Amino acid sequence: MNEFALIFRNEENPDVQFSPEQMQGILGQWRNWIGGIAAQNKLANPGNRLGVEGAVIRKGGIVTDGPYAEIKEMLTGILVVRTETLEEAVELGKGCPIFSAGGSVEVRIVIPTTME
Protein backbone atom coordinates (compact mmCIF):
# COMPACT_ATOMS: atom_id res chain seq x y z
CA MET A 1 0.00 0.00 0.00
CA ASN A 2 1.12 3.52 -0.74
CA GLU A 3 0.17 6.80 0.76
CA PHE A 4 -0.68 9.89 -1.22
CA ALA A 5 -1.05 13.41 0.04
CA LEU A 6 -3.98 15.37 -1.31
CA ILE A 7 -2.99 19.02 -1.27
CA PHE A 8 -5.74 21.60 -1.56
CA ARG A 9 -5.25 24.99 -3.15
CA ASN A 10 -7.72 27.74 -3.67
CA GLU A 11 -7.81 31.41 -4.54
CA GLU A 12 -8.44 33.64 -1.62
CA ASN A 13 -11.38 35.72 -2.62
CA PRO A 14 -12.26 38.40 -0.08
CA ASP A 15 -15.37 39.33 -2.04
CA VAL A 16 -17.12 36.06 -1.33
CA GLN A 17 -18.80 35.95 2.06
CA PHE A 18 -20.69 32.87 3.12
CA SER A 19 -23.70 32.88 5.40
CA PRO A 20 -23.52 30.55 8.39
CA GLU A 21 -25.95 28.18 6.61
CA GLN A 22 -23.78 28.13 3.49
CA MET A 23 -20.72 27.58 5.62
CA GLN A 24 -22.47 24.69 7.37
CA GLY A 25 -23.35 23.21 3.99
CA ILE A 26 -19.79 23.44 2.70
CA LEU A 27 -18.40 21.90 5.87
CA GLY A 28 -20.94 19.09 5.59
CA GLN A 29 -19.82 18.36 2.01
CA TRP A 30 -16.21 18.16 3.11
CA ARG A 31 -17.03 15.91 6.05
CA ASN A 32 -19.10 13.62 3.84
CA TRP A 33 -16.28 13.42 1.34
CA ILE A 34 -13.65 12.63 3.98
CA GLY A 35 -16.07 10.27 5.76
CA GLY A 36 -16.55 8.47 2.45
CA ILE A 37 -12.80 7.96 2.10
CA ALA A 38 -12.60 6.76 5.69
CA ALA A 39 -15.52 4.38 5.08
CA GLN A 40 -13.42 2.70 2.39
CA ASN A 41 -10.63 2.39 4.93
CA LYS A 42 -8.44 4.57 2.74
CA LEU A 43 -7.89 7.51 5.05
CA ALA A 44 -4.31 7.48 6.34
CA ASN A 45 -4.40 10.87 8.01
CA PRO A 46 -7.23 13.40 8.12
CA GLY A 47 -4.66 16.20 8.09
CA ASN A 48 -5.70 19.76 8.79
CA ARG A 49 -7.30 22.76 7.22
CA LEU A 50 -5.02 25.77 6.97
CA GLY A 51 -6.22 29.27 7.73
CA VAL A 52 -5.23 32.57 6.19
CA GLU A 53 -3.18 33.83 9.08
CA GLY A 54 0.48 33.01 8.57
CA ALA A 55 3.95 34.15 7.72
CA VAL A 56 6.84 33.13 5.50
CA ILE A 57 10.38 33.00 6.79
CA ARG A 58 13.29 33.35 4.42
CA LYS A 59 17.05 33.15 4.68
CA GLY A 60 18.45 35.78 6.94
CA GLY A 61 15.40 35.82 9.20
CA ILE A 62 13.31 37.82 6.80
CA VAL A 63 9.69 37.36 7.70
CA THR A 64 6.86 38.42 5.42
CA ASP A 65 3.15 38.35 5.97
CA GLY A 66 2.56 35.47 3.67
CA PRO A 67 3.01 34.30 0.14
CA TYR A 68 -0.36 35.60 -0.86
CA ALA A 69 0.75 38.55 -2.96
CA GLU A 70 3.01 36.47 -5.13
CA ILE A 71 0.95 33.39 -5.85
CA LYS A 72 -2.53 33.07 -7.15
CA GLU A 73 -3.57 29.94 -5.30
CA MET A 74 -3.08 29.49 -1.61
CA LEU A 75 -2.51 26.22 0.21
CA THR A 76 -5.70 25.58 2.19
CA GLY A 77 -5.21 22.11 3.58
CA ILE A 78 -3.83 18.63 3.30
CA LEU A 79 -4.91 15.07 3.94
CA VAL A 80 -3.30 11.69 3.31
CA VAL A 81 -5.01 8.70 1.67
CA ARG A 82 -3.91 5.08 1.53
CA THR A 83 -4.19 3.43 -1.89
CA GLU A 84 -2.23 1.05 -4.07
CA THR A 85 -1.87 3.36 -7.06
CA LEU A 86 -1.77 7.03 -7.96
CA GLU A 87 -4.85 6.46 -10.15
CA GLU A 88 -6.91 5.31 -7.15
CA ALA A 89 -5.77 8.33 -5.16
CA VAL A 90 -6.71 10.61 -8.04
CA GLU A 91 -10.10 8.92 -8.21
CA LEU A 92 -10.67 9.72 -4.52
CA GLY A 93 -9.50 13.29 -5.09
CA LYS A 94 -12.09 13.80 -7.83
CA GLY A 95 -14.87 13.77 -5.23
CA CYS A 96 -13.42 16.75 -3.37
CA PRO A 97 -15.88 19.62 -2.86
CA ILE A 98 -13.14 22.16 -3.60
CA PHE A 99 -13.81 22.10 -7.34
CA SER A 100 -17.16 23.80 -7.04
CA ALA A 101 -15.31 26.66 -5.32
CA GLY A 102 -12.71 26.91 -8.10
CA GLY A 103 -9.85 25.23 -6.25
CA SER A 104 -7.55 22.37 -7.17
CA VAL A 105 -6.20 19.17 -5.62
CA GLU A 106 -2.63 18.13 -6.11
CA VAL A 107 -1.90 14.43 -5.51
CA ARG A 108 1.60 13.49 -4.42
CA ILE A 109 3.08 10.19 -3.29
CA VAL A 110 4.33 10.19 0.30
CA ILE A 111 7.87 8.91 0.71
CA PRO A 112 7.81 6.46 3.61
CA THR A 113 9.99 7.26 6.59
CA THR A 114 12.65 4.60 6.96
CA MET A 115 13.80 3.37 10.33
CA GLU A 116 17.48 4.06 9.58
Partner 1 sequence: METEEQLIPHLFRTEYSKIVAVLGRLFGFEHIETAEDIVSDTFMLAAETWGQKGLPANPAAWLYTVAKNKAKDHLKRNTIFNNKVAVTLQQNAAEAYETEIDLSGKNIADSQLQMMFAICNPIIPTEAQIGLSLRILCGFGIEEIADAFLTNKETINKRLFRAKEKLRHEHVKIEMPATVELNNRLDTVLTTLYLLFNEGYYSRSQNISLRKDLCLEAMRLTYLLTGNAVTVQPPVYALLALMCFHASRFEARTGQQGESILYGEQDTSLWDKELIARGQQYLNKASTGVQFTKYHVEAAIAFWHTQKVDSQQKWESILQLYNTLLILEYSPIAALNRTYALSKAINKESAIIEAEKLKLDDNHLYHCLLGYLYTDIDDGSALNHFEKALKLAKTKPDKKQIKLYIKQLAEHTAKTN
Footprint of partner 1 on this chain (CB under 8 A)? 28, 31-32, 34-36, 38-41, 43, 46
In angstroms, what is the minimal distance from the CB of 54 to partner 1? 25
Q: Which is nearer to partner 1, 46 or 66 (CB)?
A: 46
Nearest approach, Cβ of residue 42 and partner 1 (Å): 9
Does residue 91 sit in helix, strand or coil? helix
Shortest distance in whole angstroms from residue 37 CB to partner 1: 9
- Based on CB atoms, which residue is closest to partner 1, 66 or 95? 95
CB 2 within 8 Å of CB 109: yes
Closest CA to 101 of 50, 27, 4, 20: 27
Answer whether 4's CB lies under 8 Å from 79's CB. no
